[in-house]
Structure 1
Amino acid sequence: MNLQRLRRAALAMTGAVALLLGFAGPGHAAADVVLRDLATAKGKYIGVAATASELNISSYASIAGTQFNSATPGNEMKWESVEPTRGTYNWTGGDNLVGFAQAHTMQVRGHTLVWHSQLPSWLTSGTFTNDELHALMIKHVTDEVTHFKGKITHWDVVNEPLNEDGTFRQSLWYNQLGSSYIADALRAARAADPAAKLYINDYNTDGTGAKSDGMYNLAKSLLAQGVPLDGIGFQGHLIVGSVPSTIQANLQRFADLGLDVAVTELDIRMVLPATDAELAQQKADFKAVVSACVAVSRCVGVTVWGLTDATSWIPGVFPGQGAATPYDENYQPKPAYYGIAEALGWTGTVPAAGCTVTYGVNQWNTGFTANVTVKNTGGSAVGGWTYPAGQKVTQAWNATVTQSGTAVTATNLSYNGTISAGGTQSFGFNATWSGSNPAPTGFTLNGTACAAG
C-alpha cells in the first residue's frame, strides 16, 4: 500500500494547556483508486477546477494531474483576467492552465466567455451604445476562442443567464442587448472554433424546478432557431443532505433534446466543524451526483470545483460552512473521494482508520522529556494531532512548535509528513510542569479509541 498520513489523535490528559501536534504533508489515495481511469472506463471525464495559485502548490498539482483527466480554469479565462484593458489581452494564466493539462493528458473546459460577473472596470464603467456593446462582446468571444482554438474541448460560452424563477437575469448584457446576446455569443464561438462544444452553464438548475424549467425552455428555443448549442452545464454547488432527488431525470430531459450535459462545478458544503455523520452524508451525496451522470449516456463528465478544503472558495462566501471538496485541508482523500470512486465503478474497500500510540517520559521535578510514537494501523489518510495537557513545551524535535498562551501547535517537518500503512512516525519534546505531570490515559483517532502501544 502507498503512504498514508495520520489525521488526528487525542492524547487525553488532565490539565488546561493544549499541545497540537500536526502531521500535514502531501498524500494520495490508495494506489488502486485512480479516478480518471475509472471515469475513462465509463466513457466520462472526471475534472477539477484550478487557479494559477493552486497549480503552484505541489500537492494540488500532483493530485490534479494524477487523478483527473479534465481541467477547468478557476479565473484565468474570465473576461477581467484575459482583457483587463480594452483590446489588450493577457493570456498567461490561461496558457499555463492549458499547458498543465496537456502535460498531464487532460482535456480543458473553457470557463467562461460571457458572464455578468468578473468583468473589467473599463467595460462595467464605460458608456457604450447597444451596437458598441454588442461589437465588444463578439470581438472578445472571437478573440479568446481563436486564441485557444484546438485546445479547448468544451466552452462555457454563457454563464448564469437566469434568475431563480427561470426568467432572464438583469445584467449588462441582457439590459442592453436583450436575450439575443446568448445566441449571438454562441454563434461567435462556433465561428471561431467549429470543433469546440458550446455550453450554457448555471447554478441551482440541478434538479427540476422553476430555474431548470427556464433553462430547458431557453435551450429548446435556441435549438429551434438553429443556434449552435451543444450542451448544458449544471454547476452543482450543493449542501450536504440536499442533493435533488430529480437530478438524473433532469439531466435526462436535457439529453433528450439532443444535448450533452455535464456537472461542471460540483462541491457539497456543510456546517463546520465537519462531523463524521456529515462526512458520511457528503460521501453519499457525491456518489449520488456522479451516479446520475453515469446513468445518463449524454452526460459527458463531472468536474469538482476545487480539489481541497485548504483552498476552497466556500468559507469565504458562506461563513461557518466549508469542507465541500473531496480532499481535506491536508490534501488527503475524504469519504467523498471514495463516493466518487464507487459511483464510477470502484468496488474496493475504503481504508479504515486506526492507530496505536506509544508514550514514554523521562521526568524530573520541574520538567520532562516525552517521546511519542504513532503507528498507523489502518489505511485512511490522516493528519493532525491533538495533545491536551497541563504542561508547557520548551523544545521539540521532528516537529515545528509554536505557542500562543496555553495553546501549542507543532507541525511535521518536510521529511516526516506521511505515515505508511503499518508504519510509524515519532516526535518528542521537552516541557516544564508544576503541580503534577500525569501520563496520558487514552488515545483516539478521529474519535475512535486507539490502542496504547
Structure 2
Amino acid sequence: MPAPAGRARHVLAATAVAVAGALAVGTAVAAPSPAEAGSTLGRLAAAKGRYFGSATDNPTLDNAPYTAVLGSEFNQITVGNTQKWQYTEPSRGQFDFTQADRIVAFAQAHDQVVRGHTLVWHNQLPDWVNDVPAGELLGVVRNHISAVAGHYRGQVVHWDVVNEAFEEDGTRRQTVFQQKIGDGYIAEAFKAARAADPHAKLYYNDYNIDGIGAKSDAVYEMVKSFKRQGIPIDGVGLQAHLILGQVPSTVEQNIRRFAELGVDVAITELDIRMRTPRDAAKDAQQAQDYRAVVNACLAVTRCVGITVWDFSDGYSWIPSVFPGEGAALIYDENFAKKPAYWAVYEALGGTVTTDPPAGCAATYRVTAQWHGGFQAEVTVRNTGTTATTGWTVRWTLAQGQAVRSLWNGVLATNGQEATVRNAPYNGRLAVGAATTFGFIGSSTGTNPVPAVTCATA
C-alpha cells in the first residue's frame, strides 16, 4: 500500500526483539502505576515476545517532535517507501540505497528491528521494468532481489518479498510479473530472497486478507503449496488497512489457520480510518477496533508483531486516497495520544492507575538525552468524569535545567518553576483521553526527573 506522507546489525530469531524505551519517567499528581511509568508500546509488546512498531518515511526524519516519539515508543520500524524498486533501482543495474539506509541507521541507533518493504510489487516501479522483454524479466527480478536483500543482509529481520499479488476474488493480479513470467514468479522471488539473506524471515504481504474470504483463501492455498514444495516462505503479512467498526470477526481464526501451516503472521500496516472530523463516539469505536486487532494477534503465539502504518494522523496516507476520511492512527496530528493508543497500551498489558477526583494526571519522561541537553515529553490525561476545557501542568526545574523550546503547550517560567498550559487546540479532553506536549531542555547537572502536578480548568 502507499507509504506514509546504522552501524549495529540485528538478527531476530522467532519473536525475540530489541526494545526501544524511554530514558526516564516521572510521577504525576495522580500517581501512575509502575506499568505506565516505565512502559512504551514497544516495551509492553516485547514483554509478550512480540514487537509493536511503526512505518516511517524519509521526510519525517527531520521533524524533531516526530522522531522523539518514533525513536522511543516503538521497538520496530518498517521502511515505508524507500526500499521499493523505484528508489533502490531507478535505472537498470544502478542501485541507490541512500534514503533507505538513513531509516535503517535511525532504527539501529534506537535499538529497533527493521522490516524490509518490499522487494517485488507492481506499484512504484520505474518505467524501465515494464519494458524488459519477457525472457529477461525473471533474471532482472532475481538480480534486483539479490542486490537489495543482499545490501541489507543481517540488518532486516523480515522482508515483504512479494506484495499484493492477488485480486479480491482470489485470482492472480495481472501485473507485469504475472503476465511476463507467469505463476512461478512468486516462488522464484522467495528463492532469490533466501539466497540473498538466509537469516531474514520471508513474508508474503497483502491487504484485505485480514479475515477469511476469497482473497485470503487464495493466499492460504499458495502458502500451503509452498510449504509442501519446500519454497522458503516464513510468514504472511496482514496489512489491516481497516474501516471504523468493520474489523473482520474472523481475524483471529484467520491468523490461527496460517500459523497452523507453520508460518508466522504479522499485522504489517495497521490503520483504522473514519469519516472526518473525529468525535468522541468515533474515537471510542476506533479504540475498541484497535483493541480487537491487538487481542487477535496476542491470542496466537505465531503472530509475532504489529506495525501501524505511521503513528500520527498528520503523516497518514489515508486522506490523500480516501477524501473525507482519515484520523486512522493512534496519535493525532499534534503527536497527542488518542484513545486508540491507550486501548493498544492496555491490550498489551499496560495499566493506568489514577485518582479520579483529581481530574487530571500528568506523566513526564525523558525521550532523548545528550551532553548538556535533553528532550522530554509530558502526557496529560483526563482522569475525571467530564470533559476538560483546559489543563495546567507544573513542575520545578532542577538547578542547571532550563526549557529552551516547547511545542503543543504554552510555557511560563518563574525562577525554577515551570508552568505549561494547553495550546488553543488541545485543552478539551474527553473522559479518558490524553494529549502530550514536549520540549527541548538544557542541563548542566544530573538532569533528574521531576514530580509534576496537573490541574484542569
| 1:223 is aligned to 2:219 | no
> Does the residue aligned with 2:296 lie in a helix, a strand or coil?
helix
Tell me the distance in 1 between the aligned counterparts of 2:423 and 2:215. Answer: 55
Say if 1:135 and 1:377 are closer, same or farther in 2 by CA, change over 3 A.
Answer: closer
Partner of 2:428: 445
Give the counterpart of 1:109 among 115, 139, 146: 115
Matches within 5 A, 1:34-433: 34-124=40-130, 126=131, 128-349=132-353, 378=382, 414-415=405-406, 417-418=408-409, 424-425=420-421
TM-score, length of structure 2 as denominator length: 0.74
Q: What code does the residue aligned with 1:342 have?
A: E
Say if 1:47 and 1:179 are closer, same or farther in 2 by CA, change over 3 A.
Answer: same
Tell me the distance in 2 between the aligned counterparts of 1:184 and 1:377. Answer: 51
Residue pair 2:382, 2:429 contacting (<8 A) in 1 also = no
| Offset from partner CA, 1:277-306 (integer Å, 9 cap, x none) | 110111111111011111100011000001
Tell me how far 1:195 sits from its aligned partner.
0.5
Q: What code does the residue aligned with 1:95 have?
A: D
Aligned length: 361
Tell me the distance in 1 between the aligned counterparts of 2:304 and 2:75. Answer: 12
Q: What code does the residue aligned with 1:101 have?
A: A
Tell me the distance in 1 between the aligned counterparts of 2:134 and 2:335. Answer: 48
> Does the residue aligned with 1:265 lie in a helix, a strand or coil?
strand
Q: What code does the residue aligned with 1:91 have?
A: F
Q: What code does the residue aligned with 1:221 have?
A: S
Tell me how far 1:426 sits from its aligned partner.
8.4
> Does the residue aligned with 2:262 lie in a helix, a strand or coil?
coil
Residue pair 2:274, 2:282 contacting (<8 A) in 1 also = yes
| Offset from partner CA, 1:294-339 (integer Å, 9 cap, x none) | 1100011000001100111100000000000110010011011111
Tell me how far 1:377 sits from its aligned partner.
8.5
| Offset from partner CA, 1:357-379 (integer Å, 9 cap, x none) | xxxxxxxxxxxxxxxxxxx7847
Q: What code does the residue aligned with 1:418 have?
A: G
Q: What code does the residue aligned with 1:330 have?
A: N
Tell me how far 1:346 sits from its aligned partner.
1.3
Partner of 1:403: none
Tell me the distance in 2 between the aligned counterparts of 1:379 and 1:55. Answer: 33
> Does the residue aligned with 1:445 lie in a helix, a strand or coil?
coil
Q: What code does the residue aligned with 2:78 have?
A: T
Q: What code does the residue aligned with 2:85 have?
A: W
Tell me the distance in 1 between the aligned counterparts of 2:324 and 2:93. Answer: 41
Residue pair 2:409, 2:422 contacting (<8 A) in 1 also = no
Tell me the distance in 1 between the aligned counterparts of 2:423 and 2:251. Answer: 49
Structure whose alpha-carbon radius of gyration is higher:
1
In structure 1, runs of 5+ residues without a counterpart are 5-28, 356-375, 387-412, 429-443
> Does the residue aligned with 2:315 lie in a helix, a strand or coil?
coil
> Does the residue aligned with 2:91 lie in a helix, a strand or coil?
coil
Residue pair 2:408, 2:423 contacting (<8 A) in 1 also = no
Tell me the distance in 2 between the aligned counterparts of 1:377 and 1:230. Answer: 41
Q: Which runs of 4+ in 1 moved over 6 A?
A: 350-353
**RMSD between aligned alpha carbons?**
2.9
Residue pair 2:382, 2:430 contacting (<8 A) in 1 also = no
Tell me the distance in 1 between the aligned counterparts of 2:202 and 2:315. Answer: 29
| Offset from partner CA, 1:204-260 (integer Å, 9 cap, x none) | 000111111011011111111110000000000001100011100100000000000
| Offset from partner CA, 1:133-171 (integer Å, 9 cap, x none) | 111111000110110011010000000010001111110
Say if 1:377 and 1:226 are closer, same or farther in 2 by CA, change over 3 A.
Answer: closer
Residue pair 2:76, 2:107 contacting (<8 A) in 1 also = yes
Tell me how far 1:417 sits from its aligned partner.
3.3
TM-score, length of structure 1 as denominator length: 0.74
Tell me the distance in 2 between the aligned counterparts of 1:333 and 1:55. Answer: 20
Tell me how far 1:385 sits from its aligned partner.
9.1
Tell me the distance in 2 between the aligned counterparts of 1:219 and 1:179. Answer: 13
Residue pair 1:240, 1:270 contacting (<8 A) in 2 also = yes
